[in-house]
Structure 1
Amino acid sequence: MLLSAYLSKRFRTQAGAGERQNGFVTFIAKASTIGILLGVAVLIVALSVINGFEQQLVHRLLSVVPQVEYVAPSRPIEQWSSKVENLQKQASVTGAAPFISVNGMAQYKSDLKAVEVRGVSPELEKNVSSINQFIQGKLIDQINTEEVILGSQIVEQLALQRGDSVTLLIPQVNQTSNDILAPKRVTLTLVGIVKMGGPIDSSAAFIHLKKAQSLLGYDEQQVTGLRLQVNDVFYAHQIALRVGQTIPDYVYISSWFRTQGSLYQDIQMVRTIVYIVVFLIIAVASFNIVSSLVMEVREKQSNIAILKTMGAKDSTILATFVMQGLTQAFVGVVLGSVIGILVALNISSLFNWLSQLAGANPLQGVYFIEFLPSKLVWQDIIVTIIVTFTLAVLATIYPAWQATRVDPAKVLGN
């Protein structure tokens, strides 16, 4: 009776220990699956947001800001019409237009605001800029010499409304003595408001090219610069250097890489950081697969030994544990992909809802857009899945190999 009670107690103790160990192994396995799930979901969402910013950079900001500019540093460019015609014939150039740019002040009543006055040709500006889609009111190709279009932040700061008369103060310099003269004042009617959600809203003032020429004392064929639109914005600098050789005037060559290049580099840097950080998270989750499988092998040594005595091959045992680890990774990848895709498709609406709930938009006044863009690229999802499964396979090899080294004689003998 005493021996029976002792053996019964011993078996219950071993069973309880086995249950606790099995529960811990299950917890580690679930933790690795959840880690892979979170890593895949975060990577898909983060890359979608980065792709969205890059898309908005190209189709929103770079469709409005100058992609390529040739600016005369001292003397104006002569015979601009023939030069624009020549530029439009160059390879990789999709549009060309003249402009006159000068810093000035906008005044309404007693309030003043610094602006960049830009005289543009209504007929040609649409070939190099998509600014019209961000204008409320009269478009650029519809303005006359007595009208002006201002950025929305300028309008707000000066408390203007469409139809109000606003005064532009243009600085004057004596060309012979370089003395600063009294600024020239011109009163124009506000007919349009640029609302883009970027720096243009706080600085842009568009007027007719002929009006700018008269303010600076230029004739009809004189301008301060020429602007291009190219077919590939990421090669804008190379195109600018090549096409600039066809201009006989002495000009400064400028591309969007000089004015907005840091923003593009920031986007690419963030993309690289996201890849590194999230893949490290996935690697840690894959390491949990190693831990769970190692403990699983230790727990199932007697079962493995029995299978080996029954004739099971090492390749069968190896494949069994590899498939067990891949199953954990597969569940994590599938659920993570589904969650990541759903969040990426709705993150813009979710961001707007959270901004309204918090009463503040963290992107307002910081970036060239005031919303959180998202663009799903299926290649990113495929790369994420392939890399995750590769890490999972590597994580299962060692524990599965350890399972094939179990010695049935030693295990069953003990």
Structure 2
Amino acid sequence: MLSVFISNRLRASKHQAGMIGFLSKSSTLGVMLGVAVLIVALSVINGFEQQLKTRLLSVVPHVAYQAPYDPISNWPDKVRLLEAQQGIVAAAPEISLTAMVQFRGELKAAQVKGVDFLSHHKVSDVGQFITDTSLSEMTDNDIILGRHIATELGLKRGDKVTLLVANSQAASPLAALKRLNFVLADVINMGGPIDRSLALVSVKRLQQAMGLSDDEVTGLRAKVEDVFSAHQVAMAAGRALPDLVYVNSWFRTQGSLYQDIQMVRTIVYLVVFLIIAVASFNIVSSMVMEVKEKQADIAILKTMGTRDSTIFATFAIQGVSYALIGALVGLFVGILLALNISDLFRAWIELDGDNPLQGVYFIEFLPSQLDWLDVISVLSITLVISVLSCLYPAWQAVKVDPARVLGG
């Protein structure tokens, strides 16, 4: 208690209004900004990782098996075979091809997927991003397009569109395209590149267009229990299939995105903690100057019988208090910004009119997920750095010689 009392008196003294006060306030401000920036940055990174798992990976195939030459026959049995493999939750048939969507003379390229509307929900959560129609209500004449495709073509629900598909049965590569007529049932609104490319139709229509029988498809997709073990599960389950297939997982299509998120997390940790470390070690400068300023006071305290441990604790507490104030204020500001950064970003876009995330990332908004473990770790590491930075000036205060200071 004596150390705390002396520390408070030293902080309130007139000398704190000079250079020492400026250095201590600037170091406190540096810690505050570093902590706030780190919490906001980590929350945004957590938000991107969460959106990757719950949004993008809920729609793109976890595991895909694509036939390179001959189609996969008797797909219902192959689906049951995959679902019996360890680590796989569900499987479904799929036909993937690139086609052109035509409406009133306008054309737009699309990645068309022929799916079984009754079972597709088992392997994909795309239905969550379709607002007005259920997949189970879709007919063979319906099509679902990405929002941007529909917007750029000027489509509305109920409009008739034409799908131009390559004629794979023709002997000549210059054969005329097949024209498949559909009715726009709904749009996919994910807020990312999938809105610009994906089209869903009935697998039966593509089977007919490609001359396949009802039990033949060009691919199978599976949903796995643990998305981070998808590649291992894909390889193990693929060995059970008797067909020649290419094995693919989301690690090959989206893995670089996940690795980029983790790399950015590491860089943010390193850079911002270096900022906090620099701000914390600025405390050393202000504390060393303060020890020199207070040598006479320290000498008097020693002659009065104050223990070295009390002197050490006094200056250590004073240095830590600078960082603690900055860390707590930074935590408050960082948490407040992290909880509202998505709304602030949306408001900024409305004012500026330009979205820097549009067409670049898999989402077009700024996500944020506050993790309290990050808050605790940031506060803990900041305090550790602060304590370490205060040891040297506190030790210098203990080494003050009363006889030399007062005698001179």
TM-score, normalised by the number of residues in structure 2: 0.94
- Give SS of 1:69's match: strand
Corresponding residue number in structure 2 for 1:71: 66
Deviation at 1:330, TM superposition (A): 1.2
Larger Rg: 1
Q: Distance between the aligned counterparts of 2:393 and 2:120, measured in 1?
A: 66
Equivalent position of 2:367 in the other structure: 373
Q: Tell me by how many angstroms 1:296 deviates.
A: 0.7
Residue 39 in structure 1 maps to residue 24 in structure 2: no
Note if 1:98 corresponds to 2:81.
Answer: no
Corresponding residue SS for 1:189: strand
One of 331, 334, 337 as aligned partner of 1:340: 334
User: What CA distance in whole angstroms lies between the structure 2 residues aligned with 1:54 and 1:238?
Assistant: 21
For the Cα contact (< 8 Å) 1:174–1:181, is it kept in 2? no
The residue type paired with residue 403 of structure 2 is A
Q: CA offsets per residue over residues 118-144 of structure 1, 9 Å max, x none?
A: 110011100000101111433332211
Of 21, 28, 39 in structure 1, the residue corresponding to residue 23 of structure 2 is 28
User: How far apart are the structure 2 equivalents of 1:39 and 1:259?
Assistant: 35
Give 1:261 shift: 1.2
**Equivalent of 1:251 in 222, 229, 245:** 245
Find the counterpart in structure 2 of residue 359 from structure 1: 353
Q: 2:401 corresponds to which residue?
A: 407
Q: Which residue matches 1:49?
A: 44
Q: Are the aligned partners of 1:172 and 1:180 in contact in 2 as well (CA < 8 Å)?
A: no
Residues 213 and 220 in structure 1, CA contact (< 8 A), matched pair in contact too? yes
Task: Provide the secondary structure at the position in 1 that maps to 2:167.
Answer: strand
Contact 2:108–2:153 under 8 Å retained in 1: yes
Q: What is the match of residue 202 of structure 1?
A: 196
Whether 2:224 is the aligned partner of 1:224: answer: no
Find the residue that maps to 2:177 and give its secondary structure.
strand
Q: Secondary structure at the match of 2:205?
A: helix
| Number of aligned positions between the proteins | 396
- Does the CA-based 8 Å contact 1:138-1:191 persist in structure 2? yes
Deviations 1:169-197 (A, max 9, x none): 1102357x674422111111111111111
Residues 138-162 of structure 1, C-alpha deviation per residue, up to 9 Å, x if partnerless?
Answer: 3332211111111111111211111
Identity %: 55
Partners of 1:116 and 1:203 within 8 A in 2: yes
Does structure 1 retain, via aligned residues, the 8 Å contact 2:99–2:112? yes
Contact kept? 1:52, 1:374, Cα under 8 Å: yes
* Kept in 2: contact 1:107–1:169 (CA 8 A): yes
For structure 1, the 5+ residue unaligned runs are: 1-17
In structure 2, relative to structure 1, the CA distance for the partners of 1:192 and 1:21 (3 Å cut) is closer
1:317-367 CA distance string (max 9 Å, x none): 111111111111111111111111111111111111111111222222221
Partners of 2:169 and 2:211 within 8 A in 1? no
Scaled by the length of structure 1, the TM-score of the pair is 0.93
Q: 1:261 aligns with which of 243, 255, 263?
A: 255
Match of 2:4 in 1: none
Q: Give the counterpart letter for 2:163 in structure 1.
A: L
The alpha carbon displacement at 1:105 in A equals: 0.9
The structural deviation recorded for 1:110 is 1.1
CA contact (8 A) 2:114 2:206 kept: yes
Structure 1's consecutive aligned runs of 4 or more residues displaced over 2 angstroms after TM superposition are 18-22, 136-141, 177-181
Cross-structure match for 2:187:
193
CA distance in 2, matches of 1:308, 1:111: 89
Q: For residue 234 of structure 1, what is the aligned residue in structure 2?
A: 228
Q: Do structure 1's residue 300 and structure 2's residue 294 form an aligned pair?
A: yes
**SS of match in other structure, 2:175:** strand
Distance (whole Å) between structure 1 residues aligned to residue 17 and residue 333 of structure 2? 29
Partner of 1:14: none
What 5-or-longer segments of structure 2 have no aligned partner? 1-12
| Helix, strand or coil at the partner of 1:182 | coil
SS of structure 2 residue aligned to 1:173:
coil
Q: Work out which of the residue numbers 121, 144, 162 in structure 2 matches 1:167.
A: 162
- The one-letter code of the counterpart of 2:36 is A
- How big is the shift at 1:19? 5.8
Q: CA RMSD in A?
A: 1.5
CA deviation vs aligned residue, 1:45-74 (integer Å, no higher than 9, x gap) = 110010001000100010011111000011
The answer on whether the counterparts of 2:169 and 2:210 sit within 8 Å (CA) in structure 1 is no
Partner of 2:9: none
Partner SS for 2:221: strand
- Higher mean alpha-carbon deviation, 95-104 vs 362-371, is at 362-371
Q: One-letter code of the match for 1:186?
A: L
CA shift for structure 1 position 245 = 1.1
Partner of 1:115: 110
Q: 1:149 is matched with which residue? A: 144
Conservation of the 8 A alpha-carbon contact between 1:173 and 1:181 = no
Distance between the aligned counterparts of 2:402 and 2:276, measured in 1?
35
Bigger shift: residues 392-401 or 256-265: 256-265
SS of aligned partner of 1:58: helix
Name the structure 2 match of 1:82: 77
Pick the aligned partner of 1:386 from 373, 380, 384.
380
Query: What does residue 134 of structure 1 align with?
Result: 129
User: Counterparts of 1:364 and 1:350 in 2: how far apart (Å)?
Assistant: 17
